Amino acid sequence: MKYLKLETRTKIFTMMICGCLVILLDSPSSLLACFVLSLLLVTSSFPSLRQIRLLLIFLFLTTWGLVYSQGIFYNAYPRTVLITLVPAEFPLLGEWTNGIRIYREGIFHGIIQSLRFNTTLVIGCYIVWTTQPRDLLLALGRLHVPGALAFMVTSALHFIPVIAGEAAVVIRSQRLRGFRFLQINLISAVKGVISSFRPILAGNIRHATHLGESVESRGFSPENANQRTSLQSSQMRSWDYVLLAMLVVCLISVISLKLIYFCYTNGIYYGSWLRGLYTFTREIL
Amino acid sequence: MVPIQIENLFFTYPSRETPTLKSINAEIASGDFLLLTGPTGCGKTTLLRTINGLIPHASSGKLAGSVRLNGKIISTQALTTTCQQVSLLFQNPEDQLFCTHVEDEIAFGLENIGLPTDKIKQQITLALDQVGLPGFESRRISELSGGEKQRIALAALCAMQPQVLLLDEPTSHLDPRATRDILNIVKQLNADIGITIILATHQVKQVAELCNRVWLMDKGQICLDLPISEAFQDTSAFHRLGVQVPEQNNFPIITSTKHATKTPNSDSLLTVRDLKYQYPNSNNLAVNGITCDITRGEIISIMGANGSGKTTLLHLIAGLLKPTSGEVTMDGKPVKRLRLHQLAGKIGIVFQNPDLLLQAKTVKDEIAFGPKNLKMKSQSLIDRVDKTVAQFNLADIVKDTPYSLSRGQRQRVAVASTFSLHPDLFLLDEPTTGQDQQHLHQMMDQLCNQILQENKTLIFATHNIELTRKYANRVLILDQGEAIFDGTPDAAFANKQLLNQASLAF
């Protein structure tokens, strides 16, 4: 299916700029806007139902994990108790932890953090699903990323489906040998999980070694990147430049506004003519 | 001129004390087709890697002596130079293909050596013609069969126009028809273009008629270097090392009589009814309407070409996949309704890659893993482990780490650790991959003996006719997911039309 195909370097820069933006932004509404835009980006590649399902699982797990952990472990003030899971007077656990509670501010903080993570996660999925390993290798080379590092990143991308398949086989074979990953004996469960990493890791090393040897014996070398030719011309097009320009302007604007606001809140500089910007930064960014 | 001269070559891997290659002196003339064979672990792959320069450039270790190509020492020239003279085809196409599309894959090496794009396009077309896949430029590699993938990997090498082509077990993952296709292509490259071929394989029978010279390796040395006309006049060295020989009458299957099989009793174990399975994102049924009854004491071989549904059927029987429709019942209970851990002790499976099963620190722990999970009490557990170690002759390596063992030993450990659960039904997927005859038959002998002694059932998937003939008392032949034959091996292999249909005729 035809879709707006971005050049690989544009995708990498989009990921980097959005990564910076979500760190700089604090307001839930602006973070939500970033997240929605990242969803639009991934939607533009017409993902399959399986990819959509996978993305939803990733998003759910990230959001649930962050909201739950922040809800419990939030330690800033003020904080409002929503639910008490273990009272402070409960024997041992309660006395030891001084009570376990879920805090409203923690949940709010968890949601903000999950919007940050999810935005980069969605763009990461977009890159993985729409980029050939070879294109990624070329793009990283053009961005002067060291060849060995570029190859590592690319082969990691190449092996994602292989690793997923082998992990499934390892888990199933352990279960067929009577092992239960969900069991009351936590130590045994953790040991089982750790030991299942061993064949997966060994398999990864073996695959990566073979692939590395295969590409090296076909003349690939970080040292000869400059002599390399390319069958597929990979040129930035107008929409690549437009998107990158918009993102760069956006990033510079956010950094500038944040700096102006920082100067104001720390008493370094105040200008009454900037009051509108102060309000905008506080309310929107 | 002699293109390859090997002089007093030694190589020792960093983790080993003894050299993997020892005192190798040999020459290969231009245009030779050399068959390189020997038992697993004898050094075939290491020798190939020294000839194409991966050793020492991409692998650490101690190298002494030299390999010269056209008079130049390979270890001293850059890999980017050597790759234009010597190309290496690996065993598994999945591990060597880097791109998602055929055209990009073939172009990859040519781009690396800086060929202009118009020349690259010409070379792609030529290479695809050479491997018999014209017009495949825009195809996605993931949509190709195993045989086609290996042909694309070969095309990627042919495009580099090497003088020497090295092939490391290139057909061990392929069915007989795909094997024949690959070997025919290699023969043509040798005959028409004059490329020197060195082909390392255990499948001596298929290659012997194509080659003009044979090297037999053992423990890192070339113990036999003869022209094909003389190589098999005295086969004692091949037999001693458990290596296949081309003469039908000398093949172990005939000399070692058919494995003692028991007439299966009528005690039904497994029922498969109109079983169908379709993978997500696929338009075809991988398994299409298979029905059969399996009784205790049977040893069944499932045969068929790559992609015919053998592995999928095994996974459906083992409960690893849920059928799209139809049912597998074991002792009257539907397998799909049982959780995998509930099937432990009833069904055991060893995958094509046995390494995915090995997760413990020692062989003993590996064998104990299953019985421990079934909460076997300590004395019974010790007895079970000791018995299994004895049954599979693993006493010498019981304290070793599984990953430090040879491929043949790792497979034996995987089989033993699955058998230690005493499953009623033992499933074995493609046991021949990467195994020499000696190790393969040793492992199958041990397993089949235990299966018969304890009145269990064995189902193994393979495209190896000899293995089926020797061990199975029943064969199920699949073609595109459908069972096209269910009967005795003798009846199946007498039917040439059937073997052709199933791509099993070489």
> CATH number of the domain that B80 lies in?
3.40.50.300
Q: Has residue B123 been placed in a domain?
A: yes
Per-residue pLDDT at A174: 87
User: B377 to chain A nearest CA, in Å?
Assistant: 15
pLDDT band of B68, cuts 50, 70, 90: very high
Strand partners, B485: B477
Q: Which of A217, A223, A235 to mutate to test the interface with B (most CBs of B within 10 A)?
A: A217
Query: How is residue B12 annotated by DSSP?
Result: E
pLDDT at B326 over 60: yes
Average pLDDT over residues A137-165: 80
Which tokens in the block code for residue A170? 């390892």
Token pair 């759910």 in the structure block, residue: A60
The 10s digit of each residue's pLDDT in A158-212 is: 787 788 888 888 888 888 888 887 766 777 778 778 888 888 888 888 888 888 8
Q: How far is residue B434's CA from residue A67's CA, in Å, rounded to a whole number?
A: 49
In this predicted structure, what is the pLDDT of residue B294?
Answer: 93
Q: What is the mean pLDDT of residues A17-39?
A: 93
Give the chain A residue whose CA is nearest to the CA of B123: A231
User: Which pLDDT does position B251 carry in this prediction?
Assistant: 38
In a domain, B46, yes or no: yes
Return the minimum-mean-pLDDT range out of A69-83, A130-144, B488-502: A130-144
What percent of chain B lies above the pLDDT cut of 70? Answer: 95
* Neighboring chain B residues of A220 at a CB cutoff of 8 Å: 108-109, 112
- Cβ <8 Å between B351 and A232: no
Rounded average pLDDT over B97-107 = 88
pTM: 0.77
Residue B267 counted as domain residue: no
Whether B111 has its CB under 8 Å from any CB of chain A: the answer is: yes
Domain assignment present for residue B338? The answer is: no
Interface of A with B in 44-73 (CB under 8 A): 48, 50
A134/B83 Cβ within 8 A: no
ipTM exceeds 0.95, yes or no: no
**Chain B contact for A84 (CB, 8 A cutoff):** no
Contact A170 B359 (CB under 8 A): yes
**How much is the average pLDDT of B450-479?**
91
Residue of B112, B357, B429 for testing the chain A interface, max A β-carbons within 10 Å: B112
From chain A residues 161-200, the ones with a CB under 8 A of any chain B CB are 162, 166, 169-170, 172-180, 195-196, 198-199
Residues of chain B with Cβ-Cβ distance to A201 below 8 Å are none
Residue B208 shares a structural domain with residue B143: no
- Could you tell me if A229 lies within 8 Å of chain B, comparing CB atoms? yes
Do B62 and B97 lie in one domain? The reply is no
Q: Which residue(s) pair with B36 in the sheet?
A: B200, B215
Residues of A in contact with B280 (CB under 8 A): 50
pLDDT in tens, B227-279: 998 888 888 888 888 888 886 544 343 344 566 565 656 688 899 999 999 98
pLDDT score recorded for residue A34: 93
pLDDT in tens, A201-251: 888 888 888 888 888 888 887 777 677 888 777 778 888 999 999 999 999
Give the full edge-to-edge strand order of the sheet including B457-462: B347-350, B425-429, B457-462, B299-304, B474-479, B482-487
3-state SS assignment for residue B176: helix
Q: Which amino acid is at A177?
A: R
Residue B338 C-alpha, separation from nearest chain A C-alpha, in angstroms: 11
In a shared domain, residues B151 and B21: no
- Distance in angstroms (rounded) separating the CA atoms of residues B123 and B406: 40
User: How many interchain CB pairs under 8 A, A with B?
Assistant: 165
Q: Across residues B308-337, what is the average pLDDT?
A: 90
Mean pLDDT score of chain B, rounded to an integer? 87
Using the 3D structure, point to which of B205, B227, B250 is the last residue of a domain: B250
What is the number of residues in chain A? 285
Token pair in block for residue A258: 């944040």
Q: How many domains does one find in chain B?
A: 2
More confident residue, B66 or A155: B66
What residue type is assigned to position B361 of the chain? K
Which of B137-141, B261-265, B440-444 is predicted with the least confidence, judged by mean pLDDT?
B261-265
Residue B28 structural domain: 1-85+163-170+196-250
pLDDT of residue B256: 43
Task: Give the Cα separation of B391 and B412 in Å (integer).
Answer: 11
Chain B partners of A235 at a C-beta cutoff of 8 Å? none
* E strands in B56-157: 62-69, 72-73, 86-89
A interface test, pick of B359, B384, B385, B421 with most A CB neighbours within 10 Å: B359
Q: Is residue B42 part of a domain?
A: yes
User: Are B68 and B94 in a shared domain?
Assistant: no
Q: What is the mean pLDDT of residues B397-418?
A: 86
Which band of pLDDT confidence, cut at 50, 70 and 90, is reported for residue A115?
A: very high
* B10 and B36 together in one domain: yes
Chain A: residue whose CA lies nearest to B88: A217
Residue B472, domain member (yes or no): no
Q: What is the pLDDT of residue B184?
A: 92
Predicted local distance difference test score (pLDDT) of residue B260:
59
Mean pLDDT value across chain A: 86
CA distance B473 to B490: 9
Nearest CA in chain A to B89: A214
